[in-house]
A = this chain, B = another copy of it.
Amino acid sequence: MKLVEIYQCLCDETRLRLLHLLLRGPLCVCHLQSALGEPQVKISKHLGYLKARGLVTAQRQGNWVIYALPPEAERAPEVAANLACLQDCVAGSVVFKRDLAKLAKEDLECSPLGRVRGAIKKRGCSC
């Protein structure tokens, strides 16, 4: 992956916010979506963009798709460096902190069904 392509991935605010959350660990689309408060299409397309360029991986789990950064050992040096840099840079920014806060407030179960009727048969996603 060329350096420019990394920056091209980073040059959109929505993608920055997504990557920032994924730095904390794997997440399903619905968690990302509600944390960012953006429409589903938008989230999905940007995740697709990142996935097409290898910056994130996707894995299906039942109804849900879990997105994650590749494990640290497998990251190209430039990717690792820039993710670390991103981590540092967002420290002061309100938007990013709000995303994290919103994520923390999310239930562990993904769907309402998972909470209401679930616990026996309907389980939420495991992220």
Contact = CB atoms under 8 A, between A and B. Distances in A.
A101 interface: no
Interface size class on chain A is 20 to 34
A93 B82 CA distance: 16
Interface in A73-127: 77-78, 81-82, 84-86, 88-90, 92-93
Given A89-B77, A89-B78, A89-B81, A4 B13 contact: yes
Interface of A: 3-4, 7-8, 10-13, 16, 77-78, 81-82, 84-86, 88-90, 92-93
Q: Lowest 7 CB-CB distances: which A-B pairs, in order? A: A7-B11, A7-B10, A11-B11, A78-B89, A85-B85, A8-B11, A4-B13
